[in-house]
Amino acid sequence: MIISTEELENRKIDEYNLKQLEKVKSVLSKTNKNNLKIRSLADFNRKFNQNIQPIKNCYYLVSTNYFEDYK
């Protein structure tokens, strides 16, 4: 199977972003989530002393009650 340079680069980006997501999941698994309010990545990094830096085509997470709480 021949994979283009662009596809290889996209895979590297995905792998990097997934590693960043695993860091976030690790931090959140150790956190009391009852009153957890994180408004942005910068807010997350500040509150948890992290340096999560996603690159191109990154996903983001929103809690299920986000839209109810921030109307």
> In the structure encoding, which two tokens stand for residue 61, read together?
């997470």
Closest CA to 31 of 66, 63, 57: 63
Range of the domain at 42: 5-69
pLDDT confidence tier of residue 7, bands split at 50, 70 and 90: very high
Q: What pLDDT digit, counting tens, does each position of 21-43 carry?
A: 889 889 888 887 777 778 788 88
Provide mean pLDDT across the span 46-57. 86
pLDDT confidence tier of residue 45, bands split at 50, 70 and 90: very high
- pTM metric for this prediction: 0.68
Mean of per-residue pLDDT scores for the chain: 80
> In the structure encoding, which two tokens stand for residue 68, read together?
């109810």
Q: Say which amino acid occupies 23.
A: K
If one counts the domains in the chain, the total is 1
Tokens 């957890």, located at residue: 36
Q: Are 20 and 53 in contact (CB under 8 A)?
A: yes
